[in-house]
Copies of this chain bind each other. A is one copy, B any other.
Amino acid sequence: MLAMTLSPELDRNGAAFAFPVGDLISESLLDRRLRTATRRLLQAREHIFFDGDPKDHIYKVEKGAVCLYKTLPDGRRQIVDFAYPGDLIGLSTLENHVFSAQAIALTRLRCLPAGLLEEMAKNDPRVGVQLYRALSDQLLSAHDLLLTVGQRNATERLAALLMALSRRNDRGGADPARIALPMTRADIADFLSLTIETVSRTFTKLRQGGIIDLAHSSLVVIRDRRALGRLAAGEAERI
Interface segment out of the listed A90-98, A103-111, A213-221: A90-98
* In-complex Cβ contact of A147 among B55, B80, B121, B151 (8 A): B80
Task: Decide if A233 is an interface residue (CB 8 Å cutoff).
Answer: yes
* In-complex Cβ contact of A193 among B73, B122, B139, B150 (8 A): B150
Distance to closest chain B CB from A49 (angstroms)? 13
Q: List 15 A-B contacts (CB under 8 A).
A: A10-B52, A16-B92, A16-B95, A17-B93, A73-B235, A74-B234, A80-B143, A92-B139, A93-B133, A93-B137, A98-B140, A139-B139, A142-B143, A142-B146, A149-B149
Question: Across the interface, do A94 and B136 meet the contact criterion of CB distance under 8 Å?
Answer: yes
6 closest residue pairs by CB, A with B: A150-B193, A142-B142, A92-B136, A76-B151, A72-B234, A14-B95
Task: Decide if A166 is an interface residue (CB 8 Å cutoff).
Answer: no
Question: Across the interface, do B115 and A16 meet the contact criterion of CB distance under 8 Å?
Answer: yes
CA distance A238 to B162 in the complex (A): 36
Task: Decide if A39 is an interface residue (CB 8 Å cutoff).
Answer: no
Interface segment out of the listed A59-67, A124-132, A167-175, A197-205: A124-132
Which DSSP category, helix, strand, loop or mixed, fits chain A's interface?
mixed
Q: How big is chain A's contact interface, by range?
A: 35 or more
CA distance A138 to B17 in the complex (A): 18
Task: Decide if A99 is an interface residue (CB 8 Å cutoff).
Answer: yes
| Chain A interfacial positions (CB closer than 8 Å to B) | 5-7, 10, 13-19, 52, 55, 70, 72-74, 76-78, 80, 91-96, 98-99, 114-115, 117-118, 121-122, 125, 128-129, 131-133, 135-140, 142-147, 149-152, 193, 233-235
Question: Across the interface, do B142 and A93 meet the contact criterion of CB distance under 8 Å?
Answer: no
Question: Across the interface, do B14 and A234 meet the contact criterion of CB distance under 8 Å?
Answer: no
List of B residues within 8 angstroms of A132 by Cβ: 93, 128, 131-132, 135
